[in-house]
């Protein structure tokens, strides 16, 4: 049976690794460089599963690679703050994307309105030309048939 701190470390290791976007293999490679001995992806899998104890030098290197204080891997303190920060960043990104989409929508709406005006103008010209042609045809018919 693991000590509660070991379980907490395993859980926080996995959470933080995923948060920073590292695979187990990538973290193992970075750890190998930091601690000076081979650590493979399966070692990280076992650490996260609570099946392999973590050496102090590994814990310090893991915290450094994940960019968090070692203490944050031993408690849930700060987790909520980190999650709130992540959600705040995601919200800001979404708001920026929405603003950009609204601006693009306005630009496209203006293009559609301009094209509609151009189409209406061309339709009026075509109608005027058709009316003038019809009037010429009617005048020609009157001359030919009525002698007017």
- φ, ψ dihedrals at 61, nearest 5°: -65, -40
Q: Single out the residue of 37, 43, 9, 7 nearest to residue 24, CA to CA.
A: 43
- φ, ψ dihedrals at 26, nearest 5°: -65, -45
Give the orientation angle of helix 79-146 with respect to helix 4-20, to 10 degrees.
30
Q: Compare 72 and 112 and report the one with higher pLDDT.
A: 112
CATH superfamily of 4-76: lambda repressor-like DNA-binding domains (1.10.260.40)
Every domain of the chain and the residues it spans:
4-76
Within 8 A by CB and 6+ apart from 57, the residues are 35
Task: With 0.75 as the threshold, say if the pTM is over it.
Answer: no
- H-type helices in the chain, by residue range? 4-20, 24-35, 41-48, 56-66, 79-146
Per-residue pLDDT, 57: 96
Query: Mean pLDDT over all residues of the chain?
Result: 91
Confidence category of residue 72, pLDDT binned at 50, 70, 90? confident
For 73-132, how does the pLDDT look when each residue is reduced to its tens digit (9 = 90+)? 988 766 677 678 788 889 999 999 999 999 999 999 999 999 999 999 999 998 888 888
């Amino acid at each position: 049976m693991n000590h509660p701190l070991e379980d907490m470390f395993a859980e926080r290791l996995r959470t933080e690794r995923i948060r920073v976007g590292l695979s187990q293999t990538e973290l193992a490679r970075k750890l190998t460089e930091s601690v000076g001995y081979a650590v493979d992806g399966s070692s990280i899998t076992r650490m996260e599963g609570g099946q392999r104890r973590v050496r102090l030098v590994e814990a310090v290197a893991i915290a450094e690679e994940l960019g968090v204080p070692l203490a944050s891997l031993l408690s849930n303190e700060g987790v909520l703050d980190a999650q709130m920060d992540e959600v705040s960043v995601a919200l800001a990104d979404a708001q920026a994307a929405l603003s950009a989409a609204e601006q693009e929508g306005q630009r496209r709406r203006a293009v559609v309105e301009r094209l509609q005006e151009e189409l209406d103008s061309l339709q009026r010209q075509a109608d005027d030309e058709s009316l003038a042609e019809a009037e010429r045809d009617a005048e020609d018919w009157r001359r030919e048939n009525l002698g007017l």
